[in-house]
Structure 1
Amino acid sequence: MEARELMSGKIHPLPLYLPFVKIVVGVGAKPAVSPFKHMGLNITVGSIQLCTILPGIFCNWRCSSISVEDDLFISTHDSATSLSAIDEVLKAFYAHSGLKVNYSKSEIFCCGLSDSAIASLSGVYGFKVGILPVKYLGFPLVTGKLSEKELRPLMAKITDKMSSWTAKHPSFAGRVQLISSVIQGITNFWSSIFIHPKKVIREVEQKCNAFLWNNTTDTARGAKVKWESLCFPKQEGGLGIKGLELWNISCIMRYIWMIFSQAGSIWVAWVHEYLLKNCSFWTV
């Protein structure tokens, strides 16, 4: 398990200048001392020390605590000098906490720069050049609905799984089990986060239907029962396979339940403060 740390504090808005560089940093998690033993560390004093030893680095006096984070995004100017200053800050943080940056797992995202400039900046510390949109836990971080293009990795993973099974010629019962457990296990991970486009849902179900009846991913010609009927419970004459569209809706509705039941969640508090704004969920 990797530990990543983020100094938290109130951030004042600054004007955005282009071109810019954004770095996703993984702060390597093999601390010499447990991170929890550093909770008493006076970060304000550390911030003042950083300001004195690093010209051009300005620290917020409200930064008084350490919180555990999975990833850290750092925005900077498009120059080697800026990257060097960030490197010095992270080294100073390592000296205080024992947490070291893992540059091999860090990525750099650039906007408005030529390929040669990007290669030059990424080569300074060995950053990998990231491709937008940024991904977290395999999911693209987008502000709107997912498009068919962004779900292509999911489709490719399902197709690869089915293609490997096709060569083994599983029985009909075996194919039912593979669809119910493996394929739906893959889609469950995505269904719990995003609402899928209907075109993608139909494509996934067509592949599952073709694999079930013909042991292929190309066509379901010759299928004896409609796919919708197969999704009925076994007690009602179906095979108990979950319909992807209804299951996707059910997973997303879980967030409504969370709004009412998990009062201690930071996400729920944010929804109430910025989206509901002290209004009833049913009247928004």
Structure 2
Amino acid sequence: MEYLTRLLMSSTSAMEFKFHPLCSSMRLSHLMFADDLLLFSKGDAPSMMTIIRTFSTFSATSGLKMSKGKSNAYFNGVNENLKAYFLQVSDKIVARIRTLGARKLSYAGRNFLWDGGVEFMRSPLVAWDKVCRPKSEGGLGLKQDLLWNKAAVGKLVWWIYTKPELLWVKWVKEVLHQANQQLNWATSGSGYTISKGYELIRNKSPDVPWSVCVWNA
């Protein structure tokens, strides 16, 4: 959300963007309440498209997307043709955002490594799981973002097991109980870190003797 705020502050400072009339004195473009997000702009095409482009950039970068079924757009004094165009463009962007996810981001990282861009049409020279091994095991020391994400979720689960008195922990447990979901995670008395969780779930490989020759000071 900090990243989204920075994006909105940057994009709404452009000359073509106009704030909502009731928000212009405060230069207010958005409000956030827990997982709810309100976006405001003047009802003209440049301003509304600025909001859409900014949110599209945020979604493509973070993998987070709006839920169309839980989202609403409110207009006041906006031309019907402009309103229809705005909603049509929004639908197209939502559909495109849905195709982006953690696996797509992994592909983008792999492609950038081999070609310096998002697209790489040839077969990579080395398998991605080998590239993501530690340098001591013959890899480049990159992280597998899918596994790192699981390890990050493990941190939340560890908190749920070890901090039952926290209000948000009680809420998560109640939600899981209502959904008949169970939590299963390996915990240790010394505490949990995302790095520890990552090492726990990644596939290990033997150390290679040549790593100290390639990777030196």
| Same fold flag (TM > 0.5) | no
Larger radius of gyration: 1
TM-score (norm 1): 0.32
The structure whose residues are more often strand, as a share, is 1
